[in-house]
Structure 1
Amino acid sequence: MTRPASAQMYDPRYPVCMHVYGTLIGERMDCIFTSFNQCQASATGIPATCLFNPYYAGRSLPPRRFAR
């Protein structure tokens, strides 16, 4: 019997994701990192790769005001 697949989510609030792979700890995408170095430190010793989040929305900038 097969189970329905669950969709991987890229959280647009974080610029860096860690792709964890392997049968022992499960395959998943963790988009919870604010820097590439933070992700690499968390990935040490496990089968994982850090990548930039293609869906990162970035910070919204306030509207510019022009001097009169």
Structure 2
Amino acid sequence: MRRACLALVAAGTLLVSAPARAQTYDPSYPVCMQIYGQVGYFDCRYTSLQQCRYLAVGRSATCVVNPYFPQERPKSPRKSRRAN
């Protein structure tokens, strides 16, 4: 009887627990705020570090550059080939 109760509690715990969501960066914005706490997450909706830092004042958070934001590569000057 005791094993049956423990098995029932274990099965109930597995069914009730919510699936974990992966933390993702939104590639639409260049800056994310990493919020710390029991449920830490990234809030990627800032256009500049200054904007993010202004809104992070007083919170347990830090601002980071979004590693998944598509950045334009600087164009390197092409060497022209001249026919001799």
Report the TM-score, using the length of structure 2 for normalisation: 0.61
Aligned equivalent of 2:68, options 49, 55, 58: 55
Residue in 1 that maps onto 2:50: 37
Aligned length: 57
Runs of 4+ in 1 over 2 A off after TM superposition: none
Larger Rg: 2
Deviation string, structure 1 residues 9-60 (Cα, Å, up to 9, x no partner): 211110000000113xx3110010000000000100000010000000146x
- Percent of residue pairs identical: 49
Answer 1 or 2: higher relative contact order, Cα 8 Å, separation at least 6: 1
CA distance in 2, matches of 1:6, 1:17: 18
Give unmatched runs, 5+ long, in structure 2: 1-12, 73-84
Give unmatched runs, 5+ long, in structure 1: 60-68
Report the TM-score, using the length of structure 1 for normalisation: 0.74
Cα RMSD (Å) of the superposition? 1.4
More strand by share: 1
